[in-house]
Amino acid sequence: MGRPVLHAPVSLIVGMLSASVETFGRAEAAMSERFGPVARASEVLPFHFTGYYEPEMGADLLRKFLAFERLVDAADLAEIKLWTNALEERFAAEPGCAVRRPINLDPGYVAPSKLVLATTKDHAHRICLGRGIHAEVTLTFLKGAFEPMPWTYPDYRTEAYRRFFEQVRADLVARQRTAQS
């Protein structure tokens, strides 16, 4: 009989999508209050992979990723997604908001073997975490690099995204080695 083994803590990441760099800063401040300091941030990257978000978010969208210093329990991903959804709603309810959805927040985590994203959308390759939240393995770490799955979104397949996640993974692995010695 197999015995349960607790999962090692993982690196919390959040992908932010918005037309406003100022909104990224405000969201980062709110998330830092909740999750602690940011350990690593990506460059602000143009997001031109789909027009899906334009009706509610506007055109000329930008993407930025954050990785937080404090490691989290992978089992907390559903609660984290519910909290980031509530933060999105807070931003959308602000007076004078020019678009229906000023920011999209996509939390997930980096573990040594994978990048997992949380979502509210169910699909055949996603696992229910509870409370209407699902998770998918978006990238797997093989032969020294993150590799996409057949369902991985086009933007997560790009070298810029994968390079950022590989840096987050390297930080995590270094921390784990230090903790073991």
- Category of 60 on φ-ψ map: left (φ > 0), alpha (ψ -120 to 50) or beta: left
Per-block mean pLDDT, blocks of 10 residues, the chain (181 long):
92 98 98 98 96 96 98 98 98 94 98 98 97 98 98 97 98 92 79
Examine residue 160 and state whether it is found in any structural domain, yes or no.
yes
Q: Is residue 5 part of a domain?
A: no
What Cα–Cα distance (Å) separates residue 33 from each residue in 7, 38, 44? 25, 10, 21
Residue 4 lies in a domain: no
Q: Is residue 159 left, alpha or beta, with left meaning phi > 0 and alpha meaning psi from -120 to 50?
A: alpha
What is the C-alpha to C-alpha distance for residues 152 and 82, in angstroms, rounded to an integer? Answer: 22
Residues 6 or more apart whose CB falls under 8 angstroms from that of 79 comprise: none
Domain that holds residue 99: 11-180
Domain membership flag for residue 65 = yes
Helix (H) or strand (E) holding 170: helix 159-180
DSSP state of 157: G
Q: Looking at residue 180, what is its pLDDT? A: 83
Q: How many domains does the chain have?
A: 1
Going by C-alpha positions, the residue among 54, 62, 60 that lies closest to residue 16 is: 62
Model's pTM, two decimal places? 0.96
Contact by Cβ (8 Å): 29, 37: no
pLDDT at 15: 98
2 assigned to some structural domain:
no
User: Residue 153 domain-assigned?
Assistant: yes
